[in-house]
Amino acid sequence: SPSWAVTAICQEPGYVFPDVLSVTQMNASQIDLVSVRPVDDESEASGNSGSYYLCEGVALP
């Protein structure tokens, strides 16, 4: 599968931070993102990591 390393500047309200992501195309409609940024607090969300899917027929806002 094609993969990329991405350097990103991420922004949340009142907070900007650098991140490095691995992006892997799993198939024609799915990509996986994994953040290498460590999570400081166990209760904190895992940031930008996750699987993202292309949904046909779903209108964007």
**pLDDT tens string 16-55:** 888 888 999 999 889 999 888 766 665 455 567 888 888 8
> Considering the domain boundaries, does residue 43 fall inside one?
no
> Considering the domain boundaries, does residue 28 fall inside one?
yes
- Domain range spanning residue 18? 1-38
Secondary structure of 41-56 in HEC code, one letter for each residue: CCCCCCCCCEEEECCC
Domain count, the chain: 1
pLDDT at 22: 92
